[in-house]
Structure formats: C-alpha cells, structure tokens
Amino acid sequence: MPFTLYEVSIPLFIRNLQVLKKLLEKGQASGKETTLVESRLIADMLPFTFQVQSACDSAKFQAVRVGGLENPVMEDKEKTFLELQERITKTIAFLETVKPESFEGKEGQEVRTIKRNGVSIPLNGKQYTFEFSIPNFFFHLSMVYALLRKEGVEVGKSDYLGAGL
C-alpha cells in the first residue's frame, strides 16, 4: 500500500519539531542565547530566530495548504529561546489535530505557494509536499543545527537525527 501525503509529512514534521525543541534546549543550556538568537552564517542570511520560525511555518503550511486546515496565525515576534520553544509547541499541537482524511485525494489538487517576490507558483499536493514543504523544513532545521554548531553549542549528528526521542 502506498504512503499517503499525510503519512510522509505530518508525523515527520511532528517528530522533527521535537528534535528542534531538543536542539534549542541544548542551545539554551549553553548560556549563549543572546548570541544565538541573532546568529547568522553570513551577513545576508536571516537570523537564528527566522530559521526556527520558518521550520515551524513549513510544517504548519503543509497542513494548511495541502490538508485544507485553517491557518493558525503565529506572529514572527519571538526573541528568546522560551518564545521559540512556545512557537514549536504550538506548531506541534496544531499538527496533532490534523486528521489523515484531510489529505485524501489531495495529491493532484493545486496548491499555491507565495514567494517573497509575490509570484505564486502552482504546484499540486504531491509536488508541494516533496518539492517544497519537506525540503524547506529540513533546510531551516539544518540551519538551526549549523548555527548552534557555529556558536560552539555541543550538538552532533545524533542530536540532529533525534536519537533517544
């Protein structure tokens, strides 16, 4: 039996948002929160806080754009690890309400993604999931991991993979 869009996305996002929470716990324990929240790999990159917000948004928008759920508004105002943790917790709680049935038959249904320059790119549910949503989520999760490493937080591959969850 083939996997559904729900099965390949929502449980994956929930688990990896839990990984993100654990990564932030290690960042907070390092005592480097002030440096980390504004950390960037390079000057033109958006900061650590944006990377966490975007990982959450990527997961949330899968449920909204493909599953057809109402978009819970989350303002991008987080400035502390505690606020970022609350955002992740809210995102997980939202994803836990998603029913597998909301993804049924959505593989070929058109999903519009809005880019920063305002151009809307039509994708179907399958394309959106595999070509945008999942890669975008893991890009931002990887950036969080890289920024933690850059600032000297002791995290490794097993932390990124969620060993022990």
d(C-alpha 69, C-alpha 87), whole Å: 18
- Read off the pLDDT of each residue in 138-156 and give the average, rounded to a whole number: 97
Mean pLDDT to the nearest integer, 124-146: 96
Q: What is the average pLDDT score of the chain?
A: 94
Q: pTM (2 decimals)?
A: 0.94
Alpha carbons 38 and 28: distance in angstroms, whole number: 14
The residue ranking higher by pLDDT, 115 or 110, is 110
Residue 58 near residue 93 (C-beta atoms within 8 A): no
Domains, the chain, ordered by start: 5-160 (1.20.120.450)
Mean pLDDT of 72-94: 96
Q: What percent of the chain has pLDDT over 90?
A: 88
**CA–CA distances in Å: residue 2 to residues 6, 57, 67:** 11, 27, 18
The pLDDT of residue 149: 97
Encoded amino acid at 62, one letter: Q
37-74: per-residue pLDDT in tens?
Answer: 999 999 999 999 999 999 999 999 999 999 999 999 99
User: pLDDT tier at 121 (50, 70, 90 boundaries)?
Assistant: confident
Q: Rounded to an integer, what is the distance from CA 49 to the centroid of its chain? A: 12
Closest CA to 35 of 157, 160, 150: 150
**Torsion, CA 130, CA 136, CA 140, CA 142, rounded to 10:** 40
